[in-house]
Chains A and B, each alone.
Chain A
Amino acid sequence: MKILVAVKRVVDYNVKIRVKPDGSGVELANVKMSMNPFDEIAVEEAVRLKEAGTAEEVVAVSIGPKQAADTIRTALAMGADRGIHVATDEIVEPLAVAKILKGICDGESPDLVFLGKQAIDDDCNQTGQMLAALMNWGQGTFAYRVEPSDGSVKVTREVDGGLQTVDLKLPAVVSVDLRLNEPRYASLPNIMKAKKKPIEAKTPDDFGVDIARRLEILKTEEPESRQAGVKVASVDELVDKLKNEAGVL
């Protein structure tokens, strides 16, 4: 089986982002960037299926500026076999990302596509579902457990209230949640080896995809900030304040 994994380059999850004072967006210059944490989980799952002999090939795809190639290298160092980099300096919305991924799927014919459930920059949580729709494939979102077998894959999903298991006909799209696995750190020898693995360079035009925005961003602002309150010295004082000051008891 062939597995395609979509990996996005995003602001590192440890960075406290800053909104530009003129409301035009988020400060991205000189900010640490990393692979979207959910996508690390997606790569890990694919590589484990390869190590288990279930998958023969893992292909990592990223859509983004030239540095997105570094994100693909990270996936290659974790164990993916080759990469496809769709280069653009524009910020591409999930619908257009899904269309580009469809173009790649049409050419590569993977059996499974793994994505993160959510990119931690746009927080959209859409791309996997959209790709599944455009391919007319089944979707297993928010995956907690993934068990492929002949012609199908069983996906246990994290849903409100607990877990739900569905069976999907292959090919299928799976978006991964936090508890699926713990991604590995690439070892130095594997980082070296990854440098020799091939990355194919593409553009959105190669897939005939119009990446013009559908959602015009009028303004980006900081949320209303919350003032720190007071420290109380004892449980008694806390109970008193909750009753008599906050009035929530």
Chain B
Amino acid sequence: MTTLLLAEHDNKALSSETAKALTAAKALGADVHLLVAGKDAGAVADAGAKLDGVAKVLTADDAVFANRLAEPVAALLVEMAGTYDAIVAPATTMGKNVLPRAAALLDVMQISDVMSVEGPDTFKRPTYAGNAVQTVRSKDSMKVMTIRTSSFEAAGEGGSAPIEAISISVNDPGLSSFVSEELAHSERPELSSAKVVVSGGRALGSDEKFREIMMPLADKLGAAVGASRAAVDAGYAPNDWQVGQTGKVVAPELYIACGISGAIQHLAGMKDSKVIVAINKDEEAPIFQVADYGLVGDLFELVPELTEKL
């Protein structure tokens, strides 16, 4: 019995999402091999070898994996699948893109967004924006699953797993090619791993105001910044800041929602936060039903005051 965990990385650094997915992978009860598919990603493999609970790091270093496009990475997973009982990846946009493709090629029904491992074939997963949690038992002999990383603690460090290059070659199927990437580089913590998240909604009114009001608060708290769908759709915040059912799922120590009504789709992405603060001028706003501390009033006054007094 061995589990293959697909590493999330950018060829330079291993994402902390991998360490969280590792905790879920270990819960399956078998040895875990970490697959680093990339190009010149030696530093990623080194970081993976240190994770507590990785039995072996396997590297597939090839230009076809440079951008971890689904077609070649899924083909690699299928080539490797024979010696594994489970293939696991964090439910990042990479994991969600690659794993179902591999699952279909292996004729396996993927288990998406696993939030708890109940046994080697039994898992809990959210449906209906997290309002109905299913316990499912997979009848497939191979398990293919993506992990809801906000539900698992990151595995620690202290390991020293061997690193092995694998010799499987995957012909570039030529179905897709990488054109370009526009990635924001920020000094702020990442949304999915930050201890504190401050989020802004439609009430911010413009991207200038969003920046003017939300960023100083985030700076003061060393927080990541999130947003509601309405704020993203209106262009106040970038796409990948969207928190919710169809955006990112976060569970920080502290989540501060400013001018967000609390639609079920938004709650789906943040209601597992430890402490929730809501600032909203409508005292009936549904966000107050999940907030530990609610402050009713105008965010344009209250948020700067909060920033100042922290």
Q: Which residues of A are interface residues toward B (Cβ below 8 A)? A: 11, 13, 16-17, 19, 25-26, 38, 93-95, 98, 117-118, 120-127, 129-134, 136-142, 144, 154, 157-169, 172, 177-179, 213-223, 226, 228-232, 234-236, 238-239, 241-242, 246, 248-249
Contacts and interface: CB of A to CB of B under 8 A. Distances in A.
A246 to B, nearest CB: 5
- Chain B interface residue number, banded: 35 or more
Interface in B85-119: 92-94, 96-105, 107-113
Contacts of A215: 109, 111, 136-139
A166 B179 contact: yes
Contacts of B174: 169
B293 A242 contact: yes
B132 interface: yes
Contacts of B240: 158-162
Contacts of B126: 123, 223
B176 A169 contact: yes
B254 A160 contact: no
A117 B100 CA distance: 12
A217 to B, nearest CB: 5
B122 interface: yes
Contacts of B96: 125, 129, 141
A221 B71 contact: no
A160 B9 CA distance: 11
B108 to A, nearest CB: 7
B157 to A, nearest CB: 23
A172 B91 CA distance: 23
Contacts of B274: 248
Given A179-B232, A220-B133, A139 B103 contact: no
A166 B93 CA distance: 14
A126 B310 contact: no
Contacts of B113: 123
Given A129-B101, A159-B94, A215-B139, A120 B289 contact: no
Interface stretch (B28-36, B40-48, B180-188): B180-188
Given A94-B109, A215-B138, A248-B274, A136 B173 contact: yes
Interface in B279-310: 283, 288-296, 302, 305-306, 309-310
Given A160-B92, A222-B133, A165 B309 contact: no
A100 B277 CA distance: 46
Contacts of B81: none
Given A160-B240, A162-B183, A249 B127 contact: no
B100 to A, nearest CB: 4
A171 to B, nearest CB: 10
A249 B198 CA distance: 14
Given A228-B290, A231-B295, A161 B184 contact: yes
Contact of A248 (B103, B134, B238, B254): B254
5 contacts: A95-B108, A117-B246, A129-B101, A134-B105, A179-B239
B169 interface: no
Contact of A139 (B71, B128, B253): B71
B136 A218 contact: yes
Contacts of B283: 231
